[in-house]
Homo-oligomer: A and B are copies of this chain.
Amino acid sequence: MGGNSFGTLFRVTSFGESHGPGVGCVVDGCPAGLLLSAEDIKRDLVRRRPGHDGAAPQERAGVSSRNEEDEPEILSGVYEGKTLGTPIAVLVRNKDPRPDDYDYLKDLYRPGHADWPWEAKYGFRDHRGGGRSSARETVGRVAAGAIARAFLVSQGIEIRAWTSQAAGVDAPEPGMPESDAFDWNEIENNPLRMPDKAAADSALEKIKNLGAQGDSAGCTVSCIALNLPPGLGEPVFDKLDARIAAAMLSLGAAKAIEFGSGFAASKGRGSETNDCLTPPTDFAGELPPGVPPISFRSNNAGGVLGGLSTGAHLRFTVAFKPVPSIAMRQETIDRRGGKVEIANRGRHDVCVAPRVVPVVEAMCALVLADFVLLKRSDRAF
């Protein structure tokens, strides 16, 4: 089938291998009349590459030194600075390919990577930098997400993600009411995109040490979406949380997701985890006649009930495994079935934490843009 398209009305199709001519996407279904430029897309692509000219002054401890400019070119769908309602194709050329760096991997299957099952599936693969299963594939996601975000902003919706844990160091929770330790402005100020400088410093130290040992670190990324109208989601299968979960688990190193209090809720009691309804404080969203605005006294549900947005903040956390490419020696198998040892060379992040943050936002934006459009067909009148 492919499986490289995502969404129903706001639909992205992604393409590209790590060391082919380029990576990119086609966004079909973006409504017409939206202001959009290549700069809007580049802004998010830059955030995907911290440590270079990005917003976060990366100290390079944890991040690959592959130095690509990632210049997005809009090939179609935009005229005189506005979206036409036609497909928006975006191309980013691969500029810094050193495919020879990967020759030693040609006949090996790296532990923790898709090499072996990919070859079992297709009988054939582009081994250079992981080919299609490289993190470079997320360039297309981020470009598409930037377009989705432009649409969402026009609807008043905002998305924010951050590193909530890295190398075992937890960041504070944003909380409800707001936690003092959590600082929204800090997120883009430190190399790990954590909302607390002390936590970031501590985690960065650990990541450096792991990198020095030739090892790698895992992390979690949390995300919040503000000002969602209630009723986003299409039960019973295309629920808001179901689609967000699919979006996040489609990311390379993602291994888990939880909404609201998640796993903790599974050990709790109903009387604790139910979020009671109260008269509205700052309810956002238009309602059909006869439906009163409400608020919730807590948000254990993470802003989703029955697969629909509730009007409270959408809130979820994604767990990422440690980067599988490590310099330490590992046993594996080669193409002839023989035992071999491998020690990864080349440019690799130690932790996906800072770079995956805008990717999480992008995927969240894609899901929400689709549901905002789908919601327009809810009612006959």
Contacts and interface: CB of A to CB of B under 8 A. Distances in A.
A217 B269 contact: yes
Contact of A21 (B76, B291, B308, B376): B76
A260 B294 CA distance: 39
A5 interface: yes
B319 A234 contact: no
Contacts of A265: 218, 255-256, 319, 321-322
Contact of A267 (B165, B230, B280): B165
A276 to B, nearest CB: 5
Contacts of A368: none
Contacts of A277: 109, 111, 116, 331-333
A257 B290 CA distance: 36
B76 A23 contact: yes
A218 B268 contact: yes
Given A3-B236, A113-B306, A294-B333, 9 more contacts: A1-B9, A3-B238, A20-B76, A85-B378, A114-B235, A117-B306, A266-B320, A279-B333, A279-B339
Interface in A1-57: 1-6, 8-9, 11, 13-17, 20-24, 26, 28-34
A242 B234 contact: no
21 contacts: A2-B9, A4-B87, A4-B236, A5-B5, A15-B28, A32-B380, A33-B379, A82-B124, A84-B132, A117-B309, A118-B308, A123-B290, A133-B235, A133-B307, A151-B380, A220-B263, A242-B250, A255-B259, A255-B302, A270-B322, A270-B325
What size tier do the contact residues of chain A reach?
35 or more
A255 B245 contact: no
A275 interface: yes
A305 interface: yes
